[in-house]
Amino acid sequence: MIRVGMVGLGLISAAHGHGYELEKDAVEVAAVCDKADDLAEVRAKVIGCKAYVDYDAFLADPTVDVVDLMVPHHLHYEMARAALEAGKHVLVEKPLANSSAEASDLLELAKSKGLVISVAENTRFVAAYLALQKILEDGRIGDVRLIRTFIAGSEVVRLSDPTLWKGSRTGAGGGTIMDAGAHSFYLLRWLFGDIKKVRAIQYKLVPESEVEDHAIVSGTLDTGAIFSSEFTFTAEIPWTERLEVYGSTGSVIIDQLADPPAVWYRDEWDAKGTPLEGVGSDVFGWKLHSIADGVRDFARAIAEKRPPLVEAEVGVFALRVIERAYESVAQDGKELEV
């Protein structure tokens, strides 16, 4: 059995817990840790495991092999480092750290200790993106010319609360570019290759927040394709993502709010298109299932002594793009090399 310790029992922890529950033949949640009130105690009772309020005491627990970090962004680096120093494998929620330098440092430390670290990037497990990967591998849409990504939902309540980390520059390290950009830049690199150049602009609608709640990042890939990514945290709709891929012999449109959510168009006369096989409408489940599948893969990878499907290096790359995007914002949208 792989024994996992979950740290940070907030919003996203239910999806991680669901993943471990589905993998319970091979994974046991041995301990949970959260510094807030009795959160750990309550959760531990439900799971039937140990509860910790203090992270150092949690790390000293020899029954924890894998640390799953779901804490605010500014804690990712120091808590992942401490876990590696304590000899634990580490899964960190995105972004891997608050900078590419911190993330690279974590990778080096893990390597030097023979431990595995990765980022919980659910994008790699979204059914529609996996179906698109097959279309691309089969060459069905030819050379990709243009890619558009869109991530939208509402974080207005959390961004408006100055006691929470989400709208704090120190706590979150940034707004939509840091938070949603981590997903889109991972996706671009995974399916289409390196990003070569970026330019970015950002906006802020929530007055209490210190970070941007809307951004547009565009640029080019090494392949010559153009991309454009737009993120908003002020859209009052079910949390959603949209991906449009336009190739020389066809296109694919993925929209998690549409039914069917993923459609392949063969040419300009293909009015109806063909739904991608095995991708059904699942407005409230697509994200939850992909997050659960991601943590399951990480746990299985440790058990099977193989690399996880999400390579931590791609998480480092996503942070490099995020950094260049913020530099571009500071220079009024100037195009910069990644």
For position 156 contacting ligand NAD by CB under 6 A, the verdict is: no
Write down the residue that tokens 């750990």 correspond to. 40
Please, which residue, 53 or 226, has the CB nearer to ligand NAD? 53
Please, which residue, 81 or 287, has the CB nearer to ligand NAD? 287
For position 155 contacting ligand NAD by CB under 6 A, the verdict is: no
Binding mask 221-260 for ligand NAD (x = CB under 6 A): ----------------------------------------
Q: Which of residues 52-71 bind ligand NAD (CB under 6 A)?
A: 55, 70-71
Binding mask 272-311 for ligand NAD (x = CB under 6 A): ---------------x---x--------------------
- C-alpha span between 174 and 213 (Å, rounded): 9
Q: DSSP characters for 62-122?
A: TT--EEEE-S-GGGHHHHHHHHHHTT-EEEEESSSSSSHHHHHHHHHHHHHTT--EEEE-G
Please, which residue, 74 or 140, has the CB nearer to ligand NAD? 74
Q: How many residues bind ligand NAD (CB under 6 A)?
A: 23
Structure tokens at 60: 């000293």
Contacting range for ligand NAD; rule: CB under 6 A; set: 72-80, 98-106, 212-220, 264-272: 72-80
277, β-bridge pairs: none
For position 73 contacting ligand NAD by CB under 6 A, the verdict is: yes
CA distances for 55 relative to 132, 166, 227, angstroms: 40, 21, 41
Residue 312 CB, nearest approach to ligand NAD (Å): 15
Per DSSP, 276 falls in state P
Q: Which helix (H) or strand (E) holds 14?
A: helix 13-22
From 188, 280, 285, select the one nearest 227 (Cα to Cα): 188
Question: What does the binding site for ligand NAD look like in residue numbers (CB under 6 A)?
Answer: 7-12, 33-36, 39, 55, 70-73, 75, 93-94, 122, 179, 287, 291
